[in-house]
Structure 1
């Protein structure tokens, strides 16, 4: 028995020696065939129809699971729609908007109106994925969205001097900005709760066909108070919680009312009103002036319900209303608001199941998100008064 054991020892030693030789780190790592090809012909970026699904092919991270993720602007999905009153489906909005952005990409983000590309502005823009949200319990879902938004809002900003809102924050610190992809409109309530912890009450610019300041439905019994919060009542809840200033404004309103009591209640909630029809009387510049004169120089949050557009331009929404703005009108109004102290944006109520096979609504929504990012990061060529921001932005294309 000694001979085989001795022989086994020799064999094991030989194997160990052989393994030692193969474990040695080579001086150079051989390139793969593809790497050799790229070295010869150059690296190609993702095509519009290829690559992972992130907004405009931006870098993607699950920021809520990655505490070291830093950004100046985050794109964040909130796939929530369980307080919708008519057609559900906005939980698929973040996916649909990202899909609608496939033709957009950082290398081709230059817009003549602004005269710059926000993706190469030196600011870190990151798609932070979606908030994990309960699809079966509204109260839990609202808490999840608030905590997630507050977490990202308090992250150290990746690039200093994103805009002039540092002095507006209660802690005097520069905070990132978040562009949220809804989701039904109720997502604004947890967002406003999170923003309140940083800025106190904020002013809201609300683009929508509907007021969303209706009182809670009557007759809800005590154990079911959560049912008071819907995508048509959340602004009333925000007012009662002290989250809003008294200088907010709607634009694009054209829904039908119970009566004048709806408008009286809306005024009590601190909102002024611009109807869709007003654009025929005062034009785009008149709409812009009304909004700017109303909101002032405090912290401003902009919320855009896709149904502010006419269903001809954006049919994929839960509560469509005929007679809305055109896409061009909305974009021109948004560009006229450059220079306000925006602390966040959202686009809501995109429900892809009702879209055309050409993805009309998703494409429009993605383009509006590009506008939001551009509005946040646009800097005038010369430091000017606040009211001149939009003048410089509007003239960038005149040099052609």
Structure 2
């Protein structure tokens, strides 16, 4: 070919079309390679990291990959990070990695670990906007999953639903029971509880009522107090309302009929003793004005309040009851021992033996003094005086 070109230039022949020669790409010269360093492997501490040191590239390796513009490179990289082969050490994410390095909470599900894969546009100008919108969507879904964690889906509640068979009374607060004396329990007779809450320990100044209490207290040797309270109306009918003037006139026939009454369950001696005590009450009333003023004179016409905390601390008799018993025996009364007199003082309110924790302890202390006619019921003294004038006949 060189000869033909030369003849064409010198001679007058027509020049031929030049043939282009194929050029080969220039290859950079090979640089001398340094020998690989043998990694020192400790047999005792054999690890993956020590083995990887032997396969590393030398320090003087040259990057022969073609250079690509960074903007075009971003468009080619996928938003989801490629999985690394096992055995390679963990490295920090690169500048173009979209995977989040923050630790996900335990409550997040598997779907919340990786952001939703959104198609990345080919144009580099809208890449930042797409990444921002994908992040916002990812965090919005994550917040929804966290807020609904542990909740069971159900129908919306339009209001409180009451279980079947229940009423509003079942939701009312429990009624706190009043504290009473230790000998009063929830299993006690209702009449016994009512007597404790309304009568026991309340000062009594009516001699008719005092005579009734004296007869009922004396009957405790044969009957219990709840039984006596259940037969109280029968006692009143048998003893003519416990009027001392009427009972003192009972004849032998009346006494024997009462002794044979099965509802009273009292021996003949107790019936005769009640008739005898009715006569003595009339004698005491002539001397002191009334049987009430005679009894209350032993306590200076004022109730005595004890402060017992336990039922076993309440005595069955006291020095005061022994003194009253001796004086009554001297005046001819029967069945009036210290124990009977102390029970009479408790029932008549001469002694306040309600326990300190009982609600009636303070209530009995705040009761008005009816002996002088003061208090809410000032007419009580007038009624007592009227009855005394009718009964006492000197």
Same fold (TM over 0.5): no
The one of the two structures with greater contact order (alpha-carbon pairs below 8 A, sep at least 6) is 1
Q: What TM-score do the two structures reach when normalised by structure 2?
A: 0.20
Radius of gyration: which is bigger? 2
